[in-house]
Amino acid sequence: MRLEAVGAGVLIQLLAVLVGATIPLPRSVRVTAALALLMTGLAGGYTAGWFAGGDWRDGLLHGLLASAVGGGVFAVVLRHTMTTPGSEVGAFWGLNYLIATSGIPSELAATYDAQLAVVLPALAGLLFALEGALAGGAAGTVGVEPP
């Protein structure tokens, strides 16, 4: 286990979440920035897997660990922006917009309002972790020559 590899992946993801949560963006690019923010799990996982070296299993493990931390922070920040009016100014505004316009039935949203504010960020954090694990596994095979 190479903790510096995990730390490099976590650093990329935390910086992306920090930028996505604090830098105000024009409305025209917020949804695109939200989609880019969702894909930073790939960048952090790939970085962790690449720095870890070894085979695809090592890359997958390092990418999963890095992206689990990044995904947890991502989920907490997303939950905060969903439940605190006026807190979203950048890429997280775009995520909240995508969630609000995703077609969740109004009756369901009204009935399970508090639960949706927990489940949806948790699913987004899980997606973050899974994409990081896949990218880390792919990065673990970068130095392998075909037979």
The answer to whether residue 146 sits within a structural domain is no
The answer to whether residue 147 sits within a structural domain is no
Q: Which residue has the higher pLDDT, 124 or 141?
A: 124
The answer to whether residue 40 sits within a structural domain is yes
* Global confidence as pTM: 0.89
Range of the domain at 135: 3-139
Distances (CA, A) of 62 to 87, 90, 95: 32, 29, 27
* Overall number of domains in the chain: 1
Q: What is the pLDDT of residue 50?
A: 92
Q: Using one digit for the tens of pLDDT, what is the confidence trace for 33-88?
A: 999 999 999 999 999 999 998 888 999 999 999 999 999 999 999 999 988 888 77
Residues 35 and 94: beta-carbon distance below 8 Å = yes
The answer to whether residue 94 sits within a structural domain is yes
